[in-house]
Amino acid sequence: MGAPPGYRPSAWVHLLHQLPRADFQLRPVPSGFAPREQEYQQALLLVVALAGLGLGLSLIFVAVYLIRFCCCRPPEPPGAKSTPPGGGCVTWSCVAALLVGCAGIGIGFYGNSETSDGVSQLSSALLHANHTLSTIDHLVLETVERLGEAVRTELTTLEEVLAQRTELVAATRGARRQAEAVAQQLQGLAFWQGVPLNPLQVAEDVSFVEEYRWLAYVLLLLLELLVCLFTLLGLAKQSKWLVAVMTAMSLLVLVLSWGSMGLEAATAVGLSDFCSNPDAYVLNLTQEETGLSSDILNYYFLCNQAITNPFQQRLTLSQRALANIHSQLQGLEREAVPQFPSAQKPLLSLEETLNVTEGNFHQLVALLHCRGLHKDYGVALRGLCEDALEGLLFLLLFSLLSAGALATTLCSLPRAWALFPPRNPSALCSGSHLSEPLLPASLEPTSPLRFPGRRRRPH
């Protein structure tokens, strides 16, 4: 297998080539992307481990803050009813963190949609490429069967009819040889026949994985949105039980956010390495999976003027053979039909077969050109390296904002919860209202009524 386009051997490769006797074969490795190598997999695992480290540090920070808040808080003097200093600032910082989390959720929905669009482009390109390859195989099979049937029936019948004329029999046999040569040349055009790699199966697998990935992110986004909204509702209503439940849910979503951040970062790093030089990796992988020659793969994946069509010779020979068959049949029609009227029916059948064969041949010429399959390859790369990669970066930003907002919320909610006023129904039967008179003012004794103008005389 030759070196892929764009591959530049390093200095140690040149040094190895200068050794006097080398009993090994160097295989070029695509630059920047080697997912099957253990070192590269370990590098991606390190990226995931960094997200795990961030999760651990966040949990340690939140735990230390809460322990300090609960255990190191100075006791309040009895009867103190004033709000502790900084209480409003704590509440507003929690609200601001939740609003940042809501903004991150919007970014997450956009990133999830962009990633899904990119993967959909990849699946559509694979389906279209599979349709093109299947059409090529179908046309080749149909044309070869038609030519074989014509050789077995019409040409054999024509030889029997024209047995009395040696030159006409020789022309018929020449047409037979040309038809067999066309069938043999066309069989070599179905280059994807028998290849174990099925683009349709790959497209179905990609769509299946993407469907569950999209659904998982939608559920995560909705869960975080509900946590933010109910936390804001609990702060507005000063509901202690709702704030306590949302604190536990925030801790769960924090863990999920850091986990998704690790997966997104590793995927984005791997995809960016792939997109830096995709042709080399795709060429090597396709050749390894299919066993096709590098000439065919370079023609379809690169599709430039420097690379000739590997099927050009077969197409040229087939076109010449079809033209010879057509001229021979026209000569037989002029010479044989006036003398042998029974030869007209097989000749007409052969003309019809030849017309169908020429139509299929022109379709094959168009389908075998690199424009169609290379366009599908370009659409797939654009879907992965533009939309999908952009969506992953937005999802990474969402996870980062979500983790920061939830960590701030977990630190602020307990202090805000401590500022809520108590709502205990038994407090109505105790307290300062017990010292107040039980009787209303209307039941208190009053002084005797005195009427003006009437005075009591002394005895």
DSSP per residue, 301-329: HH--TTS--TTHHHHHHHHHHHHHHHHHH
Q: What is the pLDDT of residue 346?
A: 87
Q: What is the pLDDT of residue 305?
A: 83
CA 295 to chain centre: 30
Q: How many angstroms separate the CA atoms of 204 and 123, rounded?
A: 8
Q: How many angstroms separate the CA atoms of 189 and 309, rounded?
A: 11
Q: What is the pLDDT of residue 416?
A: 74
What is the mean pLDDT for each group of 10 consecutive residues in the chain (459 residues)? 38 32 35 78 92 92 82 55 56 86 94 96 96 94 92 88 86 90 91 90 95 96 94 86 89 94 94 91 90 91 89 92 90 85 88 92 94 94 94 96 91 76 53 40 44 46
What six digits make up the tokens of 235?
């702060």
Q: What is the pLDDT of residue 397?
A: 96
Q: What is the pLDDT of residue 216?
A: 96
Q: What is the pLDDT of residue 76?
A: 52
Structural element, H or E, at residue 156? helix 154-161
Q: What is the pLDDT of residue 184?
A: 92
State the Cα angle at 234 between 233 and 238, rounded to 5°.
120
| Residue length of the chain | 459
Phi, psi dihedrals of residue 22, rounded to the nearest 5° = -120, 115
* C-alpha distances out from residue 283 to 26, 224, 299, 305, 310, Å: 16, 42, 11, 18, 16
HEC string of 363-381? Answer: HHHHHHCHHHHHHHHHHHH
Decide: 97 and 408 in contact? Cβ < 8 Å.
yes
Q: What is the pLDDT of residue 22?
A: 31
Q: What is the pLDDT of residue 123?
A: 96
What is Dmax (Cα atoms) for the chain? 178
* C-alpha distances out from residue 148 to 121, 145, 176, 186, 354, Å: 40, 5, 10, 12, 12
Q: How many angstroms separate the CA atoms of 210 and 303, rounded?
A: 30
Q: What is the pLDDT of residue 32?
A: 56
Q: How many angstroms separate the CA atoms of 308 and 298, rounded?
A: 10
For the four alpha carbons of 450, 452, 457 and 458, in that order, the dihedral sign comes to positive
State the Cα angle at 17 between 14 and 18, rounded to 5°.
90
What six digits make up the tokens of 171?
């022309």
* C-alpha distances out from residue 208 to 120, 123, 205, 310, 380, Å: 11, 10, 5, 35, 17
Q: What is the pLDDT of residue 168?
A: 87
| Non-local CB neighbours of 271 within 8 Å, separated by 6+ positions | 384, 385, 388, 389, 392
